[in-house]
Every structure is written in C-alpha cells, then in structure tokens.
Amino acid sequence: MTTDATVLPVRGAAPYDVVIGHGVSARVVDLLGDAPTRVALVVSDTLRGLAAPIEKALAERYALTVIEIPEGEQAKAAATAITCWEALGEAGFTRSDAVVTFGGGATTDLGGFVAATWLRGVRVVHVPTTLLAMVDAAVGGKTGINTGAGKNLVGSFFEPSGVLCDLAFLASLPHAELVAGMGEVVKCGFIADPEILRLVEQTPDVDAVLDPAGPVLRELVERAIAVKIDVVVADLKETGGADGHPGREVLNYGHTLAHAIERAEDYGIRHGEAVAIGCVFVAEVAHRSGLLSAATLERHRTAFGRVGLPIGYDAAAFADLLATMRVDKKSRGAQLRLIVLEESDGVLSPRVLAAPDEQVLAESYAALGSAS
C-alpha cells in the first residue's frame, strides 16, 4: 500500500477524508469496514477493466453487485438512476450497505444521487478516475442528474463517507481529458488560491504542469481540492456566505454559460472546456461592468489558454444560450445572477452580479468569438 498519501479532512456536519496519492484506491475496503454486507460498484462499461482490482477486492469481502452505466453525461439520466435503484432492490440493499463509484464526474454525480435516494441515504465512497472528478465532482456532496431543461437540475446534497483520489489513474487518462480537468483547477486559482495561477503561469515547461507523475500536477490537485473543501465546509447547501461572499455559489464561477454551452452542444463538449469559456465570459462581463481590470481579463485568457483550454466560442446563438442561462440554478425568478470577480488594489473578491445588463452580456459573448 502507498505511503505517500495526503489526507485532507472535510470537517462539516458529516466529516470524511479526501485521500490523495498514488495507489490509494486500494484503501477502499478498509474505508468501508465491516458495516456493509452488500456493496454496489457503479462503473461505466468502458472502465470495467481499470476497476478490476477494486472489483476483486470488494468481491472478496462483500456480496458485490456491479452496476454498469453509460459513459459520460449520458449516464446522468433518470432512466439510468432507475436501473441502479432496481439493481439495489434486487440485491436486497439495506441502510447498512454501501455504494462505491468508480469513474469520472458523471459517474460520481449519478452514483452519489442513487446512494442519496436509496432508502433515503446509504453510504457512498467515491473513487474518481479523472482530474475533473478529483478536484470537483467527488468532493462536496453535490449529486444530480440532467433533464431536458438543463444540467444537474434534479439532485441532492449528500456527502460521501470518503474520497480516494488515486493519482495513478491519471496516467491512463487521455491528454484531452487531462487538459479539460484543468478548467476547474484554474478556476480555483481565480476564486481563492493565487498560487494555483502562479504554478500554471510560471512553471517553465507547461508539460510539467500536465505530467500525471510530476509534483506540479499533484500540488495543483491538492490545492484545488483544498479550495473546494474550505468553501463547502462553510456553506454546504448554498445558503450564502458572510460579508457579501457568494458562499458555495462561488464554485460555479463560469458555470452559468458553461452549462448553457454544454446543453447547446448536447454535452459533446467537455465540462472543463466549457468552464474555461464560461470563466473568460464572466471576466468580460465584469470588465465591461467596471469591476475587473483589463489586465486580469487578459490573465483569464492566458492562464486557461496556457494549458490548452479554449478561450473563445461563437458556435451557438447568444439568444438561445441566454434563455438557458435564465433557468440556471443560481437564477431567482426571472432574474439572472452571475458569479463575478471584483478587483480592488489587485485583490480579487467574488460577488454576485444580479440582473446584469443584457447589452453587456451580448457584447461579452461577441468578444468570445473574436478570441477564438
């Protein structure tokens, strides 16, 4: 078993640990302990081979049910959740049993939602296999599925019993998926941890930033997870922060447009790619609203762009995207709300921009096309 693990405690109402390191997925049985009789492993069909060691370990200790789900966002559908619930029912799952998710963010969201809703909640342990899932979906207790109206509109807050971020899995991740995961990492740099931006911008060889075996990417993973932990411990259910801070909503920086783009693309664009575009968009909005300097707007373009993320977009009509944004989870009634950054003496502070000027929104979106 690995000895290089970093343990980041989440000390909210339901405490758990996020364990980061090479080989830490082997700890899944120790984490579950003796309480469960039955365990369900939720895994996409394409990752069944990668999950084989965990599947074997679980089968040796528990009555194991393997639930195969579709790959990616296609998994986050009501029909898939029903399939999972039926499998748990057939296996006789009780409240002392547990679910283990193995895969990317969609698997974590779907599997967490199934665990949250079966018998009103059974234990769940997440084993994220992508950079995006490690720094975002697996931590914080948000679960959900998509509907025709939009992304993650049906869901619940349900914290896991533990998260095992095995960095060894990143070595088998396609390069494009690794790059996409950096969308959430760089976002964390802007909203809370400038050291993330320094590492991304000033590491001489950008390949070192994306090296799954290297120290830079590990530090970025740990820092991004630490940002998310700090936010969710302070505001688990998005009730708001103190002194005008948006609370947990700050994690949705760039996500309002990002989710609209994902829907417009029928989820053919990677989430982290859409987030990068969305962050540049809200930086444009903040700049044109007098909140953000031109230099910090440009820094958004260079930081996301340096790791290979898109910073421009004009593939959908803005009117259609705006209609989708109006039903975003952060909206209140007919009022669109964006998370933006306000700059004062070089210090960035997140805030909510309610009812932004539609002309500013249109001009900001048009600027994305000129950057592509």
Determine if residue 91 is labeled as part of a ligand binding site.
Answer: no
Mean pLDDT of 314-343: 87
Distance of CA 151 to the CA centre of its chain: 13
State the greatest distance between any 2 C-alpha atoms of the chain, in Å, as a whole number.
Answer: 61
pLDDT band at 2 (very low <50, low <70, confident <90, very high): very low
Distances (CA, A) of 117 to 145, 155, 247: 12, 9, 25
CA distance 372 to 87: 46
- 3-state SS class at 161: coil
Name the residue among 142, 131, 134, 214 with its Cα closest to residue 175: 131
The C-alpha atoms of residue 152 and residue 136 are separated, in whole angstroms, by 14
- 122-173: per-residue pLDDT in tens? 999 999 999 999 999 999 999 999 998 888 889 999 999 999 999 999 999 9
Q: Is 239 flagged in the annotation as binding?
A: no
Q: Which is more confident, 100 or 3?
A: 100
Please report, to the nearest 10 degrees, the dihedral formed by the alpha carbons of residues 137, 138, 139, 143 taken in order.
60
What's the rounded mean pLDDT across residues 301-328?
95
- Per-residue model confidence (pLDDT) at position 333: 61
Please state the rounded mean pLDDT for residues 221-228.
98
Contact 70, 10 (CB under 8 A): no
| Residue range 71-110, pLDDT digits in tens | 989 999 999 999 999 999 999 999 999 999 999 999 999 9
Tell me whether residue 202 is annotated as binding. no
Report the share of the chain in percent with pLDDT over 70.
97
Ligand-binding site membership of 72 (annotated)? yes
Overall average pLDDT of the 264-285 stretch: 96
Across all residues in the chain, what is the average pLDDT?
Answer: 94
Of 209, 307, 328, the residue nearest 262 (C-alpha):
328
Residue showing tokens 């005008």? 244
* Mean pLDDT on 288-295: 97
* Alpha carbon separation from 172 to 103, 178, 212, 292 (Å, rounded): 12, 10, 9, 39
80 marked ligand binding residue: no
Sign of the dihedral through C-alpha 107, 112, 113, 115? positive
Kindly tell me if the per-residue pLDDT of 49 is higher than 80.
yes
Joined tokens for residue 315: 């593939």
330 is in an annotated binding site: no
Distances (CA, A) of 104 to 101, 239, 372: 9, 27, 28
CA 217, chain centre distance (Å): 17
Q: What is the mean pLDDT of residues 22-47?
A: 97
**Rounded distance between C-alpha atoms, residue 300 and residue 287, angstroms:** 11
pLDDT class of 240 with cuts at 50, 70, 90: confident
pLDDT for the residue numbered 328: 75
126 in a labelled binding site? no
Name the CATH topology of 6-171.
Rossmann fold (3.40.50)
Query: At which residue do the structure tokens 């997440």 appear?
Result: 126
* pLDDT (tens digit per residue) in 121-135: 999 999 999 999 999
Is 254 annotated to bind a ligand? Reply is: no
| Reported confidence tier of residue 260, pLDDT bands at 50, 70, 90 | very high
Mean pLDDT to the nearest integer, 344-354: 93
**Residue 184 in marked binding region:** yes
The answer on whether 213 is annotated among ligand-binding residues is: no
Q: What is the pLDDT of residue 286?
A: 98
Tokens 């971020």 correspond to: 165
Mean pLDDT of 189-209: 97
First CA to last CA distance, the chain: 46
Binding residue per annotation — 73? yes
108 assigned to a ligand binding site? yes
pTM passes above 0.75: yes
The response to whether 228 counts as a known ligand-binding position is no
pLDDT at site 372:
62
Report the pLDDT value the prediction gives residue 149, as an integer from 0 to 100.
83
Residue ranges matching CATH 1.20.1090.10 in the chain: 174-371
Give the angle 304-73-282 at the CA atoms, nearest 5°.
35
Instruction: Say what the pLDDT of residue 223 is.
Output: 98
Q: Find out whether 71 is annotated in a ligand binding site.
A: yes
Strands (E), the chain: 6-10, 16-21, 38-44, 63-69, 98-103, 123-128, 142-147, 150-157, 162-166, 337-344, 347-354
Instruction: Specify the higher pLDDT residue, 235 or 309.
Output: 309
Which residues, listed in sequence order, are joined to residue 157 by a DSSP beta bridge?
142
Per-residue pLDDT for 291 more than 70? yes
In sequence order, the 6+-apart residues with CB closer than 8 A to the CB of 258 are 271, 274, 275, 277, 278
CA geometry: angle 339, 139, 305, nearest 5 deg: 55
User: What's the CATH architecture for 174-371?
Assistant: Up-down Bundle (1.20)
Asked if residue 129 belongs to a known ligand binding site, the reply is: yes
Q: What is the 3-state secondary structure (H, E, C) of 41-75?
A: EEEEHHHCCCCHHHHHHHHHHCEEEEEEECCHHHH
Task: Give the distance, in angstroms, between the CA of residue 98 and the centroid of all CA atoms in the same chain.
Answer: 22
Query: Which residues of the chain does CATH 3.40.50.1970 include?
Result: 6-171
The answer on whether 5 is annotated among ligand-binding residues is: no
Q: So what's the pLDDT on residue 331?
A: 64
Which DSSP letter does residue 165 get? E
